[in-house]
Structure 1
Amino acid sequence: MAEPVIENQTHHHVFRRLMGYLKLDKKSLTLAILLLIIATGADVLGPIIMKVFIDGYLTKRYFPTAPLVLLAVAFIAAYGVSALFHYYQMVLFQKVALNIIQKMRVQVFSKVQHLGLTFFDQTPGGSLVSRITNDTEAIKELFVSVLSAFLSSGVTMIGIFAGMFFLDVRMALICLVLMPFILFLMWWYGRLSSAVYRVTRAKLSQLNAKLNESLQGMAIIQAMRQEKRLRDEFGRINEAHKVSRLKNVKLNALMLRSAVYSVYLLGLILILSFFGIQSFAGVVSIGVLYAFVNYLDRFFDPVNQIMQQLTLYQEAMVSAERVFGLLDDKRMAPIQIGQHSPKIHEGKVEFRDVSFSYDGKTDVLKHISFTANPGETVALVGHTGSGKSSIINLLMRFYSIDRGEIVIDGAPLTAFTNEELRRRVGLVLQDSFLFVGDVASNIRLSRSVSEADVREAANFVQADAFIEKLPQQYQEAIGERGATFSSGQRQLLAFARTMTLKPKILVLDEATASVDTETEEAIQLALSKMRQGRTTIAIAHRLSTIQDADQILVLHRGEIVERGNHQTLLEKHGLYYQMYQLQHGADQEKVVHR
């Protein structure tokens, strides 16, 4: 399964979009920048104070108490202001960054909740986890570390150059010659590292996807002895990720230390050469020499910092491309069309010449037409791949209809709001999903359902019989996916959850397919009660469970090939008759063997 296609966005566009998040906390950001400028000014002032001390007092061997105390106090004060304001500006930058990432993660998670099933059909779950966690974490580093480092380093470099020009214009111009070399290194590093990080992020996403697949299918992996195959596949992806990371390490080792240090040495040679030449012509100011060497050393600290942060910057930009690609994905869940918002009162369902394709090429449904009148039960039967689940998917509006129309109570399906549709159409799947929590919360699902209604729903579907035997009853803890409950118990809880909605239309997707024989009788009795007075559309594997259906639709390769009630279809001696004979014969054989 491939990852979702990422819209090709320019580096500049991605950066501008990221910077747009800074508007969320302008006051804190402005204050942080102001504190940074003050702290940098204090940093720059230190070498100038030392220059005054060296040239004005040390070299002249002149040590008056009052001026020296004043210089010492000024130097200590500058250091103290620098340390204090750097601390507060860093805290403010971190606060801004964490607020941004909190909002971004909520945005991404919310977007995922509203994507259509088409997106999830084409996207590995592990890849999504990687985007919501790893990629947003990388973006966090952009705001936490990179942005503050870039601003701090940029302000520091400007301040250092200001100090240099204040001391000696000619020397400052000589040092300015180094800037093209530094900018070239940054540009070259960004160009090389971007491609490496894009591969690294893709491989990390693949690792998460493979890990997620392995954890979810662990029972099958162990039962079919697939451990070695999965380990080998994971190992190959992991090796590719390691190779990509090693390329990045080599690139960093070359660019972040060796190349930058070479430029630093070039600057040091220029400064010493200039002062050496100057010494032949006259007296050289030792204080100015000290200040320039100190400034040069301080100047390359932010250069090194920027180069090191470029690693995180490139990683964040690649991650931002992936996150924005997800936020911009157009494969949304179908929503209401038009302003008219009809209500479901009776529950009459009509399919009118509906055709549908998942991939836009091969139709899985072809000219489906039928009517389920209020209170009737319509059963869908057919071999695997005949289109039964696709009919349910379209009725639940998980996918948009290609051709034809679905109508509920005379209004097109597209006209209903999601709230009305989900409230009035109850769905029970073959594999009932339970959330981490307790029994009551899984029946209620955070809706405004009273405790009395929870118990009433459980009693209605006869789930109360096993719930009240639990140690904590309705407060009994439920682990991930309800693994400690039997399939029948999970199904009864799903029935109770559905009945709290009091739906007018009931959709059953093979609700008894995975239920053990012992629980099936309770399930069938619950289903019988649930169907009373409701329009029911049910997919059934076991034909014995739908013999009392008002209408049975037999599907084959996406078409309705037979329709009628149980007895009528048997008399036709068609596909339904063959399916019934196969199942009936199998059931008879089981009885004989017993």
Structure 2
Amino acid sequence: MSVNEAKATASGTVSQVLQPIRGRLIGAGTLAALGSMLTMVPLAGIAHIAQLALSQGDAVGNWAQIGGQVWQVLGVSLGCLFLGMILISLGEMIAHLADNRITGHLRLAITRRLAKVPLGWFTSRASGEVKQAMQEDINTLHSLTAHFYTTLGRTVGAALIAVLYLFAMDWRMAIVSLLPFPLFFLFVARATKASSANMQAFGAGMARINNAVVEFVNGIPVVKAFGVEGKAHGSYREAVDAFAAAFTDFTRPLVSAMANAHALITPVAVLGIVLAFGTLFVSLGWITPLQILPFALVAPGMCAPLLLMSYITHDLHNATGAAQRVHTLLHTPVLENLAGTAPLLAQNAQVRVEHLSYSYDGETRVLDDVSFTLKPGTVTAIVGASGAGKSTLARLLLRFFDPSAGRITLGGVDLRQLDTAQLYRHIGFVLQEVRLIHASLRDNIALGRPGASQEEIEAAARTANIHQRILALPRGYDSVIGEDAQLSGGELQRVSIARAVLLDPPILVLDEATAAADAQNEVQIQHALSRFARGRTLLVIAHRLDTVMHADQIILIDNGSIREQGNHAQLLARNGQYARLWALGGYQQAKEKAQSPC
């Protein structure tokens, strides 16, 4: 993509993000432009009064003749000044109200969008990425929505009325008086072009130093253990030095060019040019000294709006990047439901996985033509090596994302016909990664049933073996996760189990629920899950075969495909891959030793 195409794309993205308030921003900019025009009138009025005074001399009669004109000009000038200030203030108010509106609109739109995206989308992204778009990026848009359009309007309005007025006075003086302003834009363009050439190196240097910091901090234990502090410090120092060089290359042309540009349009510089050329033109007999006065007053009056525009434009690049990230988040792919209304599902609905395939990148298949059935009230275990596709299968069943091919049905209904609330009333889950919100333990347990009573919440906590631990906290169930509720990984897992218990789903998916727990917590979690699982349809993802040997059916997955299927005894009798994994794990010897009378 060329530079021009990239700019066009960025412009289109900003336009789409600001679509809901575009009319208000245009109106605000127009009011600011009109106001800026009116605030320039007093400068012309002063010049006109001075010309009247100097042309009439000191005679009292002459002053009496021009007194009425002076008061008229003063009245018009002051009226225009106050009206212009009112219009500018009104434009700023409309722009800020529009900014508040788009801020609320974007945050609600992002929230609604994220409510429809696959849950798997969140697992592949850091929470900071979403937070940046919803907080920092939307806040960054403030300079674009609340200030840029009104500043642009004020600049255009002041420049337009000044140019028309100066050319009406004398076209020759107008040209020389306005000469610094095109040069200003030329210097700014050169500065932007020069810094853009080093932008890639600047960004690479920033990324390198960030990586060096993360590696240095994360590697401190290893560095200290092996005594290589000097090498670690050296890598960090090299990254800092490289970034310093890139920063110098990036800023040197920018600073010098921008300094020259700003020096050109300072009021003193513009006034100096007007007086120098005015003196020359008077000596040539082209104009009179009094004709210089309007240029000496109006031309420098254009400096302030242009300087303000220059400063606000510095934030425009950041705001454009923020708008692009917000736009990307607003267009995140969502889970689309199939047409048609899903029928009511029975509590003992059967789950069927039919010719299921899935690929994360559209090329490499993680799962390939997987089919099986979860009969009501049975336990099905999915086993296999790490990376075989077990957790992906569990997440497809929970509709964290949709399959690339095939389908999953619940009671004969495709999961894509069910809304989220209906799906999770029938399928509960306890995953290895515990996801709790920054709220009280009561709110976390009742997340799926906000209207649950305290008795129901406590009953769920008792089933999950976490009730007594919660009561021991300073504020009991009102304790907030991460504040006065500092729980271990196993305890947090039991809170998530209590949440699933409260929903009381007929189907339960367990994905290595005890993997991160210590021995004591593992026992308590296993007891909690055993009580909760009675009478339900279970799908268990497991690495340890001894934990699922009593399952009704065991499915061994290898490289995304089902290799073996049956119960524990059948799979051992087959003497295939499952039997080899069982033997390698030493489970048979452990079982025999436990049964030995010695």
Q: State the TM-score, normalized to the length of structure 1.
A: 0.82
What does residue range 7-86 of structure 1 map to in structure 2 within 5 Å?
Answer: 10-19=6-15, 24-25=20-21, 29=25, 32-33=28-29, 35-58=31-54, 60-61=57-58, 64=63, 79-83=81-85, 85-86=87-88
Indicate whether 1:431 and 2:428 are aligned: no
2:393 & 2:313 partners in 1: Cα distance? 52
Q: Which residue in the other structure is 2:501 paired with?
A: 499
Give yes or no for contact 2:36–2:158 (8 Å, CA) kept in 1.
Answer: yes
Give yes or no for contact 1:201–1:318 (8 Å, CA) kept in 2.
Answer: no
Q: Which residue in the other structure is 1:517 paired with?
A: 519
The one-character-per-residue Cα deviations of 1:236-281 (angstroms, maximum 9, x if unpaired) are 7776666665555434423433135447758954664355333443
Question: Which amino acid counterpart does residue 276 of structure 1 have in structure 2?
Answer: L
**Displacement of 1:430:** 1.6
Residues 318 and 502 from structure 1, CA distance in 2 versus in 1: closer, same or farther, beyond 3 angstroms? Answer: same
Residues 550 and 250 from structure 1, CA distance in 2 versus in 1: closer, same or farther, beyond 3 angstroms? Answer: same
1:372 & 1:483 partners in 2: Cα distance? 38
What does residue range 205-354 of structure 1 map to in structure 2 within 5 Å?
Answer: 221=219, 223-225=221-223, 246-247=248-249, 249-259=251-261, 261-262=263-264, 269=273, 272-281=276-285, 284-286=288-290, 288-329=291-332, 332-345=333-346, 346-354=348-356
User: Secondary structure of the residue that 1:541 maps to in structure 2?
Assistant: coil
Indicate whether 1:398 and 2:400 are aligned: yes
User: Secondary structure of the residue that 2:315 maps to in structure 1?
Assistant: helix
What does residue range 537-576 of structure 1 map to in structure 2 within 5 Å?
Answer: 537-576=539-578
1:34 & 1:325 partners in 2: Cα distance? 30
1:109 & 1:162 partners in 2: Cα distance? 49
User: Secondary structure of the residue that 1:404 maps to in structure 2?
Assistant: strand
The one-character-per-residue Cα deviations of 1:203-237 (angstroms, maximum 9, x if unpaired) are 778888998x789xx8x755545897998777777
User: Secondary structure of the residue that 1:508 maps to in structure 2?
Assistant: strand
The one-character-per-residue Cα deviations of 1:397-437 (angstroms, maximum 9, x if unpaired) are 22332333322222233333333222321110123222211
Give yes or no for contact 2:379–2:538 (8 Å, CA) kept in 1.
Answer: yes
Give yes or no for contact 2:553–2:566 (8 Å, CA) kept in 1.
Answer: yes
**Displacement of 1:325:** 3.7
1:348 & 1:79 partners in 2: Cα distance? 77
Q: State the TM-score, normalized to the length of structure 2.
A: 0.82
1:521 & 1:461 partners in 2: Cα distance? 12
* Structure 2: gaps of 5 or more residues: none
User: Secondary structure of the residue that 1:393 maps to in structure 2?
Assistant: helix
2:153 to 126, 151, 154: 151
1:377 to 370, 376, 379: 379
Residues 553 and 465 from structure 1, CA distance in 2 versus in 1: closer, same or farther, beyond 3 angstroms? Answer: same
Question: Which amino acid counterpart does residue 421 of structure 1 have in structure 2?
Answer: L
Residues 113 and 44 from structure 1, CA distance in 2 versus in 1: closer, same or farther, beyond 3 angstroms? Answer: same
Give yes or no for contact 1:463–1:492 (8 Å, CA) kept in 2.
Answer: yes
Residues 328 and 461 from structure 1, CA distance in 2 versus in 1: closer, same or farther, beyond 3 angstroms? Answer: closer
Residues 110 and 487 from structure 1, CA distance in 2 versus in 1: closer, same or farther, beyond 3 angstroms? Answer: same
Residues 283 and 403 from structure 1, CA distance in 2 versus in 1: closer, same or farther, beyond 3 angstroms? Answer: closer
Tell me which moved more, 570-579 or 39-48.
570-579
User: Secondary structure of the residue that 2:508 maps to in structure 1?
Assistant: strand
* Structure 1: gaps of 5 or more residues: none
| RMSD of aligned alpha carbons | 4.1
Residues 448 and 108 from structure 1, CA distance in 2 versus in 1: closer, same or farther, beyond 3 angstroms? Answer: closer
1:591 & 1:84 partners in 2: Cα distance? 92
1:342 & 1:240 partners in 2: Cα distance? 63
User: Secondary structure of the residue that 1:548 maps to in structure 2?
Assistant: coil
Q: Which residue in the other structure is 2:415 paired with?
A: 413
2:208 & 2:154 partners in 1: Cα distance? 36
**Displacement of 1:553:** 1.6
Tell me which moved more, 429-438 or 173-182.
173-182
Tell me which moved more, 387-396 or 38-47.
38-47
The one-character-per-residue Cα deviations of 1:534-586 (angstroms, maximum 9, x if unpaired) are 21100123333323311112233333333322333344444434444425357
Tell me which moved more, 290-299 or 140-149.
140-149
Residues 485 and 170 from structure 1, CA distance in 2 versus in 1: closer, same or farther, beyond 3 angstroms? Answer: same
Give yes or no for contact 2:510–2:540 (8 Å, CA) kept in 1.
Answer: yes
Question: Which amino acid counterpart does residue 11 of structure 1 have in structure 2?
Answer: K
**Displacement of 1:372:** 1.2
Q: How many residues in Structure 1 have an aligned counterpart in Structure 2?
A: 579
Question: Which amino acid counterpart does residue 308 of structure 1 have in structure 2?
Answer: Y
Question: Which amino acid counterpart does residue 547 of structure 2 have in structure 1?
Answer: T
**Displacement of 1:496:** 1.3
2:489 & 2:516 partners in 1: Cα distance? 7
Question: Which amino acid counterpart does residue 45 of structure 2 have in structure 1?
Answer: I
Residues 143 and 454 from structure 1, CA distance in 2 versus in 1: closer, same or farther, beyond 3 angstroms? Answer: same
